[in-house]
Amino acid sequence: MIIGLDVGGTHTDVVLLGPEGVLARTKEVTDQENLVDTVLRGVDGVLGDIDPGKITRVVLSTTLTTNSVIRNTLTPVGMVVAAGPGMDPELHAIGPSFHVVKGALDHRGAEIAALDKEAVKKAFALIREKGIRAIGLVTKFSVRNPSHEEVIEKAAKGLFDTVFCGHRLSGVLNFPRRIASCWLNAGVHDAFSSFSKAVKEAFQARGIIAPVHVLKADGGTFSLDAALECPGETVLSGPSASVMGAIPHAPSAKDVLVLDIGGTTTDMAVLIDKVPVLEPLGAEVGGVKTLFRALKSVSIGLGGDSELKLKGKELLIGPDRKGPALCLGGPVPTPTDAMAVLGFFEGGDRAAALKGMETLGRDLGMETEAVSRFVLKSLCEKIRDAAFSMVDGINARPVYTLHEMLEGYVVKPEALLVMGGPAAVLAPGLGEACGLESSAVPDWGVANAIGAALARTTCAVTVLADTQRGFVRAPEEGYSAEAPIAFNMDDAIALAKKLVREKALRLGADVKGLEVEVLEAQEFSMMRGYRRAGRNIRVRAQVKPGLIRNGGIV
Range 77-184: architecture per CATH: 3-Layer(aba) Sandwich (3.40)
Q: Residue 529: its pLDDT value, please? A: 72
The arithmetic mean of pLDDT across residues 194-216, rounded, is 90
Q: Residue 111: its pLDDT value, please? A: 93
Q: pLDDT tens across 438-485, in order?
A: 999 999 999 999 999 999 998 999 999 999 989 999 988 889 999 999
Q: Identify which of 195-204, 286-295, 372-381, 518-527 has the greatest average pLDDT.
A: 372-381
Length of the chain: 554
Cα 5 to its chain centre, rounded Å, is: 15
In the chain, residues under CATH classification 3.40.50 are 77-184
Q: pLDDT tens across 491-515, in order?
A: 999 999 999 999 999 888 887 778 8
Residue 553 has pLDDT above 50, yes or no: no
The arithmetic mean of pLDDT across residues 384-397, rounded, is 96
Q: Residue 550: its pLDDT value, please? A: 53
The arithmetic mean of pLDDT across residues 26-47, rounded, is 89
* Residue from 277, 238, 240 nearest 255 by CA: 277
The arithmetic mean of pLDDT across residues 326-349, rounded, is 94
Phi-psi region at 410: left, alpha or beta (left = phi > 0; alpha = psi -120 to 50): beta
CATH superfamily of 250-444: ATPase, nucleotide binding domain (3.30.420.40)
Question: Which of 236-240, 330-334, 422-426 shows the lowest per-residue confidence on average (mean pLDDT)?
Answer: 236-240
Residue 266 binned pLDDT confidence (cut-offs 50, 70, 90): very high
Residue 261 has pLDDT above 90, yes or no: yes
Looking at the chain, the whole-number percentage of residues with pLDDT higher than 90 is 72
Residue 551 has pLDDT above 60, yes or no: no
Question: Which of 166-180, 200-214, 372-386, 502-516 shows the lowest per-residue confidence on average (mean pLDDT)?
Answer: 502-516
Pairing of strands 221-223, 212-215: antiparallel
Question: 430-437, long-range: CB within 8 Å, 24+ apart, which pairs?
Answer: 430/259, 430/380, 430/383, 430/384, 432/380, 433/377, 433/380, 433/381, 433/383, 433/384, 434/257, 434/384, 434/387, 434/388, 436/257
Q: Residue 123: its pLDDT value, please? A: 97
The arithmetic mean of pLDDT across residues 259-265, rounded, is 91
In the chain, residues under CATH classification 3.30.420.40 are 250-444
Q: What average pLDDT does the chain have?
A: 92
Q: Are 267 and 239 in contact (CB under 8 A)?
A: yes
